[in-house]
Chain A
Amino acid sequence: MPLNLLKPLDTLTSQVHERSQVHRVAVTLSIVAIAAAARYALTPFFGDRSLWIFFYPAVLLAAWYGRLNCGLLATALSVITAYTLWVQPGFRGEMAQPRPIELSIWISIFSFATMGILISVLTETSHRAARAERRERNERERERRFFESALASSTDALVVLDYQWRIVYVNAVAAKIARKPRDQILGKVIWECCPDLRNSEFYAQIARCREHNIPVQFDFFHAAFDLWTEVRAFPMGEFTAFYLLDISARKRIENDLAEAQKKLSEHAARLERTVAERTAALQETVAELERFSYTISHDLRAPLRTLESFSQFIMEDYGDKLDAHGQDLLQRIRDAARRMDALINDVLLYSRTSRAELQIEPLDLDHLTRSIVSQYSSLNFSAANIEIKSPLGRVHANETMLTQTLSNLLHNAVKFVKPGQRPSVKVWSEPRDGHIRLFVQDEGIGIPAENQNKIFDIFQRAHEGAYEGTGIGLAIVKRAVERMNGTLGFVSKEGEGSTFWVELAGA
């Protein structure tokens, strides 16, 4: 409504602005002409004294209508007209002749001109002031309407309270949330509309906002309306405004999400428990299996001992009563028993390598290698040519496992030679990024290419039959090195020899 009222004013202002110069000059001329005519007509009543009385209104009117320049024009025209135009015939005798212009007349002309200019300027000034005021009022009104419509059309509910907790503004959304018409809410104390807000977190938060003059934001569940709202309150001088955003949907999703997360974590915990249980069960099974295999291997050896020993006793006690065939058969029993025992022994060793508790300590490779070489007669200098290139360095390893590893590698290097060939073995080491790689090189028969991929597997023998062995030695080496967190490998060419290496952390 106020906008519509303002419209004509606005139009008028713009019309003033739009009047053409010619139009304004014409009107000015007309006004001055009317004043002159009036003076002429009324001369009999006023006489000469009324010289300027008609022209002041003319100047004022012209200035009001045509602005500053028209006012000045009217002033000038009035000065000219007052002394050049005639008066009525009755006075012609006195006035017809141009009179000498006296000082008093000059003064009167000057004062009229001054007054005319003053009137024009004042009129113009008041014009401008009025226009500026109109414009400002207009602007304010527009702004107010803009904000009002903005607030009204906001999707957030807005409520403004005064210091007595009275609702001084509420927009449509807020009214909708309160489920009451706006005019029933406006002016009321908020507790009248929503008694349950008192003594709630809402009250505490808004009070905080008012007391500390700070904006606050909080989520609030309004039980009466079954509504989750996000409240953003801010102080506005003596007022407090707050926006309410309906976040029920978001809260529902959040709740669902929390519920889902809870379920997920429960599920994860259950899964973890299951895994732990199964791992424990598996470890128990593995331990059981190891105990079992150990016991089996262990108990298998007892009858073998009997077989072997008693065959020998027969040989010793009754050998002379047996012919060559009988002795041969007995010898075969003994050999088979021995071989079986060697197998079981190696399986036991392998099993022990797999499960024994490991203590890793710094070890001197030179000392270890030399003591192995001196301990076994088959590795003696007389039987084999073993060259150790000292220093070999120190590694972090388990003494038992490393001894087993090196002993197996050295025995293999000495064992796998052509019949009659004197074994020649080289042992040396190279540092590699904090590790030490120990090489054992022989000039033996080498490993056929087709067998090279399975030599570390248990019970695999690259030279089946030709050389004694159980096929477990390298499997033990591999297991031992792995358990010491080392690596191993080899290079071999059939007929030219093999080079095995073991890499362990340096010490």
Chain B
Amino acid sequence: MNTEFPILIAEDNENDAMILQRALRMVGFNNPFHISKNGADTIKYLQGEGEYSDREKHKFPRIVITDLKMPEIDGFELLQWLQKHSECGLIPRLVLSASQQESDVRRAYQLGAHSYVLKPAQFDELVANLRLVFDYWKMCRKPTLTAKC
């Protein structure tokens, strides 16, 4: 796997972000991670604006993992934004949320999420679930991404 491209993580909870990173490493990702505390920063990164204008340093991501409930621009708005921007709409999007509400799940998929994984209480379960998802994604054929949105 190409380990140059970063994985974008939108997660406002620092602890959850730490847990997620550790789990991703255990699943086998050696890629750099970019953690955004809300959707606005993620969008900025994707657009390559401001401090992220240097695409050499801040490469275009291969995967976006987002929480749903975040300040300012939340997960739903981020998904919506991704859906509207054709090139970004091709990036695989994984929702990682604690919400079991049917309405949340439905809306996330409607807005183009490729998978919806619950934040489990146990770390091992999180690792197992992520492994399942990424093994599946690895198997799938994916379009080539251009570094533009």
Residues of A bordering B, CB below 8 Å: 294, 298, 301-306, 308-310, 312-313, 337-338, 341-342, 345, 348, 352, 356
Contact = CB atoms under 8 A, between A and B. Distances in A.
Interface string B102-138: 1000000000000000011111101000000000000
B121 A338 contact: yes
A337 B121 contact: yes
Given A310-B15, A313-B22, A305 B119 contact: yes
Given A302-B98, A309-B22, A313-B22, 5 more contacts: A302-B13, A305-B19, A305-B119, A313-B123, A352-B100
Contacts of A304: 121
Contact of A312 (B15, B98, B102, B123): B123
B123 to A, nearest CB: 4
B123 A309 contact: yes
Contacts of B102: 356
B80 interface: no
Interface of B: 13, 15-16, 19, 22, 98-102, 119-124, 126
B100 A338 contact: no
A306 B100 contact: no
B15 A306 contact: yes
B100 A302 contact: no
Interface centre among B16, B98, B121, B123 (most CB of A within 10 A): B121
A348 B118 CA distance: 14
Contacts of A337: 121
Contacts of B124: 312
A251 B16 CA distance: 82
Contacts of A342: 121
Given A352-B100, A356-B102, A302 B16 contact: yes
Contacts of A313: 22, 123
A306 B17 CA distance: 10
B123 A294 contact: no
Contacts of B99: 298
B13 A341 contact: no
A308 B123 contact: yes
Nearest to B15: A306
A352 B99 CA distance: 12
A305 B122 CA distance: 7
